[in-house]
Chains A and B, each alone.
Chain A
Amino acid sequence: MEKVECIVVGGGLAGLVAAYGLAREGVEVMVLERGNYAGAKNVTGGRLYMRPLRRIYPELWDDMPFERPVARELITMLGDGAATTVELASERLSGPSPQSYTIQRAKLDQWLADKATAAGAMVVTDMKADELLRDGERVIGVRAGGDEVGAEVTIIAEGVLGLLSGGAGLREQPRAADHAVGFKEIIELPPGVIEDRWRLNEGEGAAQLFMGDVTRGMTGGGFLYTNRASIALGVVVSMEQMRTRSDELESWELLDAFKEAAQIKPLVRGGELAEYSAHAVFEGGIDKLPRSYGAGYLLAGEAAGFALNALVTVRGMDLAIASGWAAARAALAARAAGDSSAAALAVYERFLRETFVMRAMEAGRGVPRAIENRRLFSEYPGAVARLLEGFFAVDDESSATLVRTSLRGARREFLKIDTLKDLWSLRKV
Chain B
Amino acid sequence: MAAILVYSEQADTALELVGAARGLAPQLGLTVSAAVLGAEAAGTAAAAAALAAHGAAPVYVCTEPALEGLDTAVVTQALAHIVEQAGASVVLLGSTRRGRELGGRLAQRLGAGCVTDAISLTVEDGLLVAGRYNLGGATVQRETIATPVQVVAVMPKIFEAGEPGGAGAGEAVVAVSAELAAPAVKVVDRRPKEGQAVDLAAAARIVGVGRGLAKRDDLPLTEALAAALGAELACTKSLADFGWMADDRIVGLSGAKTAPDMYLAVGISGQVQHTVGIAQARIIAVVNQDKDAPMFALADYGVVGDLYKLVPALVERLKTL
Contact present between A and B (CB < 8 A): yes
Contacts of B297 in A (CB 8 A): 405-406
Q: Does A409 contact B (CB under 8 A)?
A: yes
Instruction: Tell me the smallest distance from the CB of A408 to a CB of chain B, in Å.
Output: 10
Q: Does B65 contact A (CB under 8 A)?
A: no
The reply to whether A413 and B294 form a contact with Cβ atoms under 8 Å apart is: no
Q: Does A404 contact B (CB under 8 A)?
A: yes
What 1/0 flags go to A402-416 for Cβ under 8 Å of B? 001110011001100
Instruction: Tell me the smallest distance from the CB of A274 to a CB of chain B, in Å.
Output: 15
Q: Does B216 contact A (CB under 8 A)?
A: no
The reply to whether A409 and B291 form a contact with Cβ atoms under 8 Å apart is: yes
Contacts of B294 in A (CB 8 A): 404-406
What 1/0 flags go to A373-411 for Cβ under 8 Å of B? 000000000000000000000000000000011100110
How many residues on chain A are close to B (CB under 8 Å)?
7
CA distance in complex: A405, B292 (Å): 9
With beta carbons under 8 angstroms apart, the residue of A409, A413, A414 that contacts B296 is A409
CA distance in complex: A404, B271 (Å): 11
What 1/0 flags go to B287-319 for Cβ under 8 Å of A? 000011110110000000000000000000000
CA distance in complex: A413, B296 (Å): 15
Instruction: Tell me the smallest distance from the CB of B296 to a CB of chain A, in Å.
Output: 6
CA distance in complex: A414, B292 (Å): 10
Most interface-central of A404, A406, A409, A414 (chain B CB within 10 A)? A406
Most interface-central of B292, B293, B294 (chain A CB within 10 A)? B292
Chain B residue, CB-CB nearest to A411: B292
CA distance in complex: A298, B154 (Å): 60
Interface residues of A in 293-328 (CB under 8 A from B): none
Contacts of A406 in B (CB 8 A): 292-294, 296-297
Chain B residue, CB-CB nearest to A410: B292
How many residues on chain B are close to A (CB under 8 Å)?
6
Instruction: Tell me the smallest distance from the CB of A406 to a CB of chain B, in Å.
Output: 5
Contacts of A414 in B (CB 8 A): 292
CA distance in complex: A151, B292 (Å): 42
Contacts of B296 in A (CB 8 A): 406, 409
Instruction: Tell me the smallest distance from the CB of A284 to a CB of chain B, in Å.
Output: 34
CA distance in complex: A410, B296 (Å): 11
Instruction: Tell me the smallest distance from the CB of B318 to a CB of chain A, in Å.
Output: 28
Contacts of A413 in B (CB 8 A): 291-292
Instruction: Tell me the smallest distance from the CB of B143 to a CB of chain A, in Å.
Output: 26
Contacts of A404 in B (CB 8 A): 292, 294
CA distance in complex: A406, B294 (Å): 6
CA distance in complex: A277, B197 (Å): 47
Chain A residue, CB-CB nearest to B298: A405
CA distance in complex: A405, B296 (Å): 9
Contacts of B291 in A (CB 8 A): 409, 413
Interface residues of B in 270-300 (CB under 8 A from A): 291-294, 296-297
Contacts of B292 in A (CB 8 A): 404, 406, 409-410, 413-414
Contacts of A405 in B (CB 8 A): 294, 297
Instruction: Tell me the smallest distance from the CB of A387 to a CB of chain B, in Å.
Output: 25
CA distance in complex: A405, B295 (Å): 9
What 1/0 flags go to B93-107 for Cβ under 8 Å of A? 000000000000000
Instruction: Tell me the smallest distance from the CB of A400 to a CB of chain B, in Å.
Output: 13
Chain B residue, CB-CB nearest to A402: B292
CA distance in complex: A414, B290 (Å): 12
CA distance in complex: A409, B292 (Å): 6
Chain A residue, CB-CB nearest to B304: A409
CA distance in complex: A413, B294 (Å): 14
CA distance in complex: A413, B292 (Å): 8
Most interface-central of A410, A413, A414 (chain B CB within 10 A)? A410
CA distance in complex: A409, B297 (Å): 10
CA distance in complex: A405, B291 (Å): 12
Chain B residue, CB-CB nearest to A414: B292
Instruction: Tell me the smallest distance from the CB of A405 to a CB of chain B, in Å.
Output: 5
What 1/0 flags go to A98-132 for Cβ under 8 Å of B? 00000000000000000000000000000000000
Instruction: Tell me the smallest distance from the CB of A404 to a CB of chain B, in Å.
Output: 6
CA distance in complex: A406, B304 (Å): 14
Contacts of B293 in A (CB 8 A): 406
CA distance in complex: A410, B291 (Å): 8
Instruction: Tell me the smallest distance from the CB of B302 to a CB of chain A, in Å.
Output: 11
Instruction: Tell me the smallest distance from the CB of B130 to a CB of chain A, in Å.
Output: 27
Most interface-central of A409, A413, A414 (chain B CB within 10 A)? A409
CA distance in complex: A156, B178 (Å): 70
Interface residues of B in 162-214 (CB under 8 A from A): none
CA distance in complex: A410, B294 (Å): 10
Instruction: Tell me the smallest distance from the CB of A238 to a CB of chain B, in Å.
Output: 28
In the complex, 16 of the A-B residue pairs with CB atoms within 8 angstroms, ordered by the A residue number, are A404-B292, A404-B294, A405-B294, A405-B297, A406-B292, A406-B293, A406-B294, A406-B296, A406-B297, A409-B291, A409-B292, A409-B296, A410-B292, A413-B291, A413-B292, A414-B292
Interface residues of A (CB under 8 A from B): 404-406, 409-410, 413-414
Interface residues of B (CB under 8 A from A): 291-294, 296-297
**Which 6 A-B residue pairs are closest in the complex by CB-CB distance?**
A410-B292, A405-B297, A405-B294, A406-B297, A406-B292, A406-B296
Additional pairs, 14, CB under 8 Å, beyond known A406-B294, A413-B292 = A404-B292, A404-B294, A405-B294, A405-B297, A406-B292, A406-B293, A406-B296, A406-B297, A409-B291, A409-B292, A409-B296, A410-B292, A413-B291, A414-B292
